[in-house]
Chain A
Amino acid sequence: MDMNQYLSMFIDESNDHLQSLNENMMGLEANPEDLGIVQVIFRSAHTLKGMAATMGFEDLASLTHQMENVLDLVRNSKLVMQDFIFDTLFKSLDALEAMVQDITGGGEGKADVSSIVASLQAIVRGEVPSAQGEGPGPAAAASKAMETPALLDEFQLSVLEQSIQAGHQVLFIEVTIREDCQLRAVRAYMVFELLERFGEVVKSFPSVQDIEQEKFDFSFSLYYISQKTAEEMQTLIMGVSEIDKVTSVALDAELLGQLGQAAVAATAEQAPPAPARENTPPVTPAPAAPPKKEEAKKAPAKSAGAPSRTIRVDIDRLDVLMNLLSELLIDRVRLEQHASDIQSGELTETVEHMSRVSADLQNIVMKLRMVPVDTVFNRFPRMVRDLAKSLDKKVDLVITGAETELDRTVVDEIGDPLVHLLRNALDHGVESVADRVAAGKPEMGTIQLRAFHSGNHVFIEIQDDGAGISREKVLKSAMNKGIVTAEQAAAMSDNEAHQLLFAAGFSTAEVISDISGRGVGLDVVKAKISSLGGNVTIYSTPGKGTTFSVQLPLTLSIIAAMLVRLGPEKYAIPLSSIVETGIVKRSQIRSVHGAKMVEFRGSHIPIVSLSSFFNVSDYDETGEEETEIIVIRKGDKLVALTVQDFIGQNEIVIKNLGKYLPNIQGISGGTILGDGQVALIIDPNAFIK
């Protein structure tokens, strides 16, 4: 069978399972007694194992198998979770992740996992006195076999015995079909067909007739004679689609003997409860059963909702859709213009309706591209845990607003900068336990990771309750690096001093040891965020902690902008950076130290002539008595730009100017106007230093 077509699905689902494993392991670590979580983890690991085995990734399957063994002991209360076990399991998860990564990159998913496997086995063997000699997996499953109501009569038992003597494999197989499966009987039939190809089914429960008439829940079990081993059969059956779980155990003569006795005992004692059991999958000890049900309810809700309600779409297709929509928007604006020129009532009406529809369409397409920041955030708890451990600090990561949505392209890019900021907060923000106690703070440091909407932006804040930034140390280091002079340093506000951390060149290895260490590549973080059209600021209170606030645009491709005219040329200014528009008299513009300033709401701000900045010919504003200004903002700094005319507000589609053009100061891109002409988009950042 050609597996390639399933590969991408395998990768997607493996990542989902790994993610849920990680999350649940974290949950379990916080609450080691909760066997319900163990069930969920076990199930994820199990599914992963099945998928990996089906796809032929042996290492992946064998490692998950070992994890499963450990987890199986835990969920059967034969093993109590401890730090060592957690660490080993986390290590296994890392190894699994690495393998899946490798497969994603086109590799074979091979990795040397022997040491992890060894320690997992050690856990299973050494630390569990109650484990039976032959290892937990078969033992547990065999005990399952004993309890199943699928009792064998004497004849069947003797058939099995003889088969074992003849050197055949006698297997007890339990198959669980996915709960969302529509045609259970068909799936069951497929399993039986598969089984009969390789051997003989001796006895099944419920009976074959019942199964064919769909008179069973989601699982059935059977005794089976074959040449294949238990593992091979398991892999084969997992190959049938919509199969959730397969347990396959090889039985030997001894177990069979016990079964025979159990059969006698059961006919006497277990006969009444048997019908009741029909409806629940014949699962192990009773205490484990309720959490299992709970998990069954939880699992579908968590993992991508019910599968039938979502589809995975190639991002490229969404991009194509977005591009087509951009074309439509351009034409819409053009139509609107024509309609108002022609002044035909019917046309105007139609165009208005089309505008509404296309606005809705735009909303939907934008929403399609939105993904919750959770997709980035979800790997942080694990990272923080590991880092805190290696730094020997106690840190609690509190995530809020993980459901906040952002454009996919932004989410893809924002991960690394956030990792950087988080590491910073952990490494240099939160103090060591001893320091914290000395400062009268609780031992456990807290890092808040918040995401929220505000206007047309999404904010992501990382706040620690550490020592804060020392102004003196930052300034000293900045002066040593020649970033600021002593006079400049003295004149700086605390806030300005903090922003120095983002200065290029501030981050060197020397700095890390010199001062509290903040500034490790923060200029890179800032550059990355700026390239996304965002902004990052620092707030810090000595002794109380530091907050990094990252401001991001909701989307990168369509923005609201103000169109302005400069002589014959038109420019677009992003609305998000405009504070206010207005008209000032020429006489109000003053010259201060050679720079032109204008009074704005009680303070003086610089004023820049756009037409002279862009060398616009055919237009001279100096003769005018009054001039239109647009006040733009970056952070808390304001600048007024003079323009000839305001044209109006518009939704514009951002287009880049082509690879050939170099970066042009003051221009961030182009857009196509309703009349088909290109207007350049002004980059407000260029006017504010």
Chain B
Amino acid sequence: MAEDIKVIVFKLAAEEYGIEVDKVQTIERLMPITRVPKTYSFIKGVINLRGVVIPVIDLRGRFGLEEAEHTDQTRIIIVVVNEMEVGFIVDSANDVIDLNREDIDTPPEVVGGIKAKYLDGVAKIGEGRLLIMLNLSEVLNKSEIVQLESFEG
């Protein structure tokens, strides 16, 4: 019997994604972001989170999805991975669910336009809902960004 985990569920475009609760520091409403020049376009800038300066990434941009207008539902999820604090801008975040690790399957090659290596797996949750579990350290892997940029550029 594998262990149960709690997962924060958020939306990007039409898909639902999950991040384990213990990697999430807080979820914030959109706040003023200071643009940082001369960096990757998906890095939206830095925010002041209670006295700490934290860089913010548009997760749509990071996954090569079309960037969307920010709405009332837009949230910044602050995650901590490998002692790096980073904020993700997502379309909405409004659910916490329990998940058993057994329910997470290895992902197919491409899900929702996102490369498999960014994913930990896909979990079925109820009536046809699919939850895509993110592999945060890959998402924040910097050497990979350089490759991505040179590939696109």
Name A residues whose Cβ lies closer than 8 Å to a Cβ of B. Answer: 326-327, 330, 569, 613-616, 655-662, 664-667, 670, 672, 676-680
Q: In chain B between 25 and 49, which residues have their CB closer than 8 angstroms to a CB of chain A?
A: 32, 34-39, 43, 45-48
Is B48 a contact partner of A614 (Cβ separation < 8 A)?
A: no
Q: How far is the CA of A666 from the CA of B37 in the complex (A)?
A: 9
Name B residues whose Cβ lies closer than 8 Å to a Cβ of A. Answer: 32, 34-39, 43, 45-48, 51-55, 57, 83-86, 140, 142
> Separation in Å of the B45 CB from the closest CB of chain A?
8
A670 and B46 contact, Cβ closer than 8 Å, known pairs A327-B51, A569-B34, A657-B36: yes
Chain B residue numbers with a CB within 8 Å of A680 are 34, 36-37, 46
Is A660 a contact partner of B38 (Cβ separation < 8 A)?
A: no
Is A660 a contact partner of B84 (Cβ separation < 8 A)?
A: yes
A678-B34, A678-B45, A680-B34 known, 20 other contacts, Cβ within 8 Å: A327-B51, A655-B52, A657-B36, A657-B46, A658-B46, A658-B86, A659-B84, A659-B85, A660-B55, A660-B85, A660-B140, A662-B142, A666-B37, A666-B38, A670-B34, A670-B46, A672-B51, A678-B48, A680-B36, A680-B37
Q: How far is the CA of A340 from the CA of B48 in the complex (A)?
A: 23
Is A661 a contact partner of B39 (Cβ separation < 8 A)?
A: yes
Shortest beta-carbon contacts, A-B, top 10: A614-B37, A678-B34, A655-B53, A659-B84, A670-B53, A658-B55, A660-B84, A660-B86, A661-B55, A672-B48
Chain B residue numbers with a CB within 8 Å of A664 are 36-39
Is B53 a contact partner of A672 (Cβ separation < 8 A)?
A: yes
Is B37 a contact partner of A676 (Cβ separation < 8 A)?
A: no
Is A615 a contact partner of B38 (Cβ separation < 8 A)?
A: yes
> Separation in Å of the A556 CB from the closest CB of chain B?
16
Q: How far is the CA of A659 from the CA of B137 in the complex (A)?
A: 13
Is B37 a contact partner of A616 (Cβ separation < 8 A)?
A: yes
Is A330 a contact partner of B51 (Cβ separation < 8 A)?
A: yes
Would you call the interface of chain A mostly helix, strand, loop, or mixed? loop
Please name the residue on chain A nearest to B33 by beta carbon.
A678
Is A678 a contact partner of B37 (Cβ separation < 8 A)?
A: no
> Separation in Å of the A314 CB from the closest CB of chain B?
22
Is A667 a contact partner of B47 (Cβ separation < 8 A)?
A: no
Chain A residue numbers with a CB within 8 Å of B43 are 661
> Separation in Å of the B24 CB from the closest CB of chain A?
16
Chain B residue numbers with a CB within 8 Å of A327 are 51
Chain A residue numbers with a CB within 8 Å of B142 are 660, 662
Chain B residue numbers with a CB within 8 Å of A679 are 34
Chain A residue numbers with a CB within 8 Å of B55 are 657-658, 660-661
Point out the residue from B36, B38, B48, B54 that lies within 8 Å of A676, measured CB to CB: B48
Is B85 a contact partner of A658 (Cβ separation < 8 A)?
A: yes
Please name the residue on chain B nearest to A678 by beta carbon.
B34
Q: How far is the CA of A655 from the CA of B49 in the complex (A)?
A: 12
Is B140 a contact partner of A656 (Cβ separation < 8 A)?
A: no
> Separation in Å of the A369 CB from the closest CB of chain B?
19
